[in-house]
Amino acid sequence: MSELVRSFIAVEVGKAERRELLGLISTLKEAGADVKWVRPENLHLTLKFLGDVEEERLGEVKGFLDRAAYGTKAFGIHLAGVGAFPGIHRPTVIWAGVDKGEELLAGLAGKVEEGAAGIGFQKEERPFAGHLTLGRVRTRKNLSRLVSALERASFSSAVETKVDGVSLYKSTLTPEGSVYELIHRARLI
């Protein structure tokens, strides 16, 4: 039996954008809430979570990623606003949203979704909501302070990043948190 590889497809975030996001996370940390914050090197925009994939199927995944990227022009996105799932007053996941370029990002996610469905992965039922996960709330400790911080939170400057590729990652769960390893990157034109 082959090894299972926990994997996902994502768009990378540049170093400058990462610094801005870390500043935002630092501000939110001041609320003292019990949140597992995403490590700087793990900040990304997920297009599709694949779950456990048999290692020998990764070639198929790389193939559909290359096809999804082929003919797709690179584009810019603007990160704007901070929110939470399922809602700001009951946060479980804290995120930064996508403003400018959201329709292009959704189009790319749609190509990825179709490619994944074409090789047997289950199609996502919910519509794509472009966001960048900043942290996951673990307990209700200082939750009201966190909600207040979220309501006031904003970026200190415009956060724009160029989407010039789609990446396949391996995700290894460790006691210290997830460790991501790049498996394949398909470049946009």
For the chain, percent of residues with pLDDT exceeding 70: 99
**Tens digit of each residue's pLDDT (9 = 90 or more) over 5-32:** 999 999 999 888 999 999 999 999 999 9
Could you count the other beta carbons within 10 Å of the beta carbon of residue 96?
26
Residue 20 is inside which H or E element, if any?
Answer: helix 15-29
- Domain extents for the chain? 4-187
> CA 93, CA 105: separation in Å to the nearest integer?
20
Straight-line distance from the first to the last Cα atom of the chain, in angstroms, rounded to the nearest whole number: 38
For the chain, percent of residues with pLDDT exceeding 90: 89
What is the amino acid identity at position 160?
E
Q: What is the mean pLDDT of the chain?
A: 95
> CA 22, CA 103: separation in Å to the nearest integer?
25
Tokens of 177: 């948190």
pLDDT of residue 1: 64
**Tens digit of each residue's pLDDT (9 = 90 or more) over 123-180:** 999 999 999 999 999 999 999 999 999 999 987 777 899 999 999 999 999 988 899 9
- The structure's pTM equals 0.93
CATH class of 4-187: alpha beta
Mean pLDDT computed over 61-79: 96
Residue 86 is inside which H or E element, if any?
Answer: none
Q: Give catalytic residue positions.
A: 44, 131
